Amino acid sequence: MTGAPIVRLGARILSSGLDYLDWLSGDAFIKPNAHVGEPVGIGIVGCGFVADFYAASLASHPELAIKAAFDLDRSRAERLIARTGGTVCADLDQLLGDPAVSIIVNLTNPTSHAQVTRAALEAGKHVYSEKPLALDLGEASALVDLAKARGVLLGCAPCTALGDTAQAVHKAIKRGDIGTPRLVYAELDDGPIHKMQPWEWASPQGTPWPWQDELKTGCTLEHAGYHLSWMVMMFGPIVTVSGFSRLVAPDKTLPEGDKLNLGSDFSVGCLTFSSGVTARLTCSTVAPHDHRFRVIGDEGEIFTDACWNMDAPVWLRRFSTLGLRAETYPVVQRIGLLRRLFGLDGRLSDMRPRPPWRGRFRRHHIDYALGIADLARAMQTGRQPALSGENALHVTAALLAIDRAGSGAEVIPSPTVQGPAS
């Protein structure tokens, strides 16, 4: 009993230490890129949690400028525009009618994505949408067709495939560092967030994290697109997908637990790609945090452990008979010195990003404006954006297939197999 206050004090000190790491990583110190010429006008629809991060990223892209914003909650649009400059719009029509706005950035909740994107395309605006493109495949496909029919561009998040880490992995594979790639193991375990008091999380500007919406949408629709878009970039179109998806912890203790219609909190997808590569992707909001992306080839494996950090280190392990045999011994696996001696952890790839020293402390680091900047260049040069609507439709088809797969066929009950002992 007497130890409890000391334990609580220790936990508080450790927690403040983690906050200090956030400060030390210094995302607030992003330097603007040099740019000459008139910036492309952006209109933001949906000024919630993620809009604060978009606004921070856009500040380091002088080729883009927020001109107007609209949110169903006007106070949110006012807060955003107070920081960025521009017009607070009374409704979506006012924003879509603003001639200073060329690209609509759709940062609404997933249930509003299709409706807002459709209105913007119909108004003749280019659109960059947060993921998923839509919650229904027919709707997603109709949006791609509409963009084509109107002669405007449609792009979709996530943009992490354009970041230095994903590009480094891709280049190393193309250079042949791991021989022929065969298999991908990708994890997007976000930790049991219901045990991490997500109702207290907020952006640096104080906008609360929409934990109810995230848990209702479910881990697959929210997160599978990150790794899937890397895989499509590296290995080509998806040929087959088989999925499994389930709400494994329906009894989460939540402040509004009773009223929430929770989405799946665990899923696995197995996929094959046109290049012949096979992948297993796991998402959850139950298992402890794990954001690894591993590509295994004939000669070795290349991996990174932080897919939400655009300049996370990239590691290359070349296989050797001795190393492959050594790792079958648990004692070698457990002792860091032995792991290094047998080369089990690999070495840093020469392709890896080299962030400034502050960057090494980062947990997450995404330049959210990268996809919009590419779409703006695509507008000016008459090409499709790298994160095109077609690509997003393809990824959406796979993630909907995994999310809707359910939990498999029932097994015939056996009278002789016992339940767990009580």
Ligand X SMILES: NC(=O)c1ccc[n+]([C@@H]2O[C@H](COP(=O)([O-])OP(=O)(O)OC[C@H]3O[C@@H](n4cnc5c(N)ncnc54)[C@H](O)[C@@H]3O)[C@@H](O)[C@H]2O)c1
- Give the binding site for ligand X (CB under 6 A): 45-51, 70-73, 76, 107-110, 112, 116, 130, 209-210, 213, 222
Q: Write the secondary structure of the chain as one string of H (helix), E (strand) and C (coil).
A: CCCHHHHHHHHHHHHHHHHHHHHHHCHHHCCCCCCCCCCEEEEEECCCHHHHHHHHHHCCCCCEEEEEEECCCHHHHHHHHHHHCCEECCCHHHHHCCCCCCEEEECCCHHHHHHHHHHHHHCCCEEEECCCCCCCHHHHHHHHHHHHHHCCCEEECCCHHHCHHHHHHHHHHHHCCCCCEEEEEEEEECCCHHHCCHHHCECCCCCECCHHHHHHHCHHHHHHHHHHHHHHHHHCCEEEEEEEEECCCCCCCCCCHHHCCCCCCEEEEEEEECCCCEEEEEEECCCCCEECEEEEECCEEEEECECCECCCCCEEEECCHHHHHHCCCHHHHHCHHHHHHCCCCCEECCCCCCCCHHHHHCCCECCCCHHHHHHHHHHHHCCCCCCEHHHHHHHHHHHHHHHCCCCCCCCCCCCCCCCCCC
Residues 6+ apart with CB under 8 A from 70: 43, 44, 45, 47, 77, 88, 89, 90, 91, 92, 94, 95
Encoding tokens for residue 20? 């200090």
**Which of 51/153 has CB closer to ligand X?**
51
Pairing of strands 103-106, 126-129: parallel
**Which of 208/356 has CB closer to ligand X?**
208
**Which of 221/231 has CB closer to ligand X?**
221
Closest contact distance (angstroms) between CB of 220 and ligand X is 12
Closest contact distance (angstroms) between CB of 84 and ligand X is 15
Closest contact distance (angstroms) between CB of 30 and ligand X is 18
**Which of 76/194 has CB closer to ligand X?**
76
Closest contact distance (angstroms) between CB of 366 and ligand X is 8
Closest contact distance (angstroms) between CB of 209 and ligand X is 6
Residues 6+ apart with CB under 8 A from 315: 302, 303, 304, 345, 346, 347, 348, 349
Closest contact distance (angstroms) between CB of 106 and ligand X is 8
Which position has the token pair 């929770």?
262
Q: Are 58 and 66 in contact (CB under 8 A)?
A: yes
**Which of 114/286 has CB closer to ligand X?**
114
**Which of 69/281 has CB closer to ligand X?**
69
Closest contact distance (angstroms) between CB of 109 and ligand X is 5
**Which of 47/295 has CB closer to ligand X?**
47
Closest contact distance (angstroms) between CB of 22 and ligand X is 15
Residue nearest to ligand X (CB): 48
**Which of 45/295 has CB closer to ligand X?**
45
**Which of 179/210 has CB closer to ligand X?**
210
**Which of 130/187 has CB closer to ligand X?**
130
Angstrom distance (rounded) from CA 17 to CA 253: 27
Neighbour-count burial of 233, counting CB atoms closer than 10 A to its CB (0-12 exposed, 13-18 middle, 19+ buried): middle
Closest contact distance (angstroms) between CB of 137 and ligand X is 17
**Which of 80/231 has CB closer to ligand X?**
80
